[in-house]
Amino acid sequence: MNTIPYRPAISDILIKASANDIFRAKLLSSPNDALTGLNLPPEDMTILAGIQAPTLKEYAHQVKTRLTAERS
């Protein structure tokens, strides 16, 4: 069984994106720009900025996939 590690900064970004339309649009269109200045741990920034997805659901799925693979 692959468990997903708890990463509070990543959880916070996904919550913010689900609650804030403007942030979500920026995260999906230009993740690096959306995340700049948010003081994320470097490894979380790498995961989040490297994802290109058309929807938040797909973005979250890709985050989950990367975190699960990281654990393997």
Per-residue pLDDT of the chain (72 residues; tens, 9 = 90+): 567 788 999 999 999 999 999 999 999 999 999 999 999 999 999 999 999 999 999 999 999 999 988 766
Planar angle of CA 26, 33, 6, nearest 5 degrees: 80
Which residues of 1-72 form beta strands (DSSP E)? none
Tell me the two tokens of residue 19. Answer: 């609650």
Instruction: Please give the model's pTM, rounded to 2 decimal places.
Output: 0.90
Q: In 3-state terms, what secondary structure has residue 43?
A: helix
CA dist 21 → 4, 12, 16 (Å): 26, 15, 9
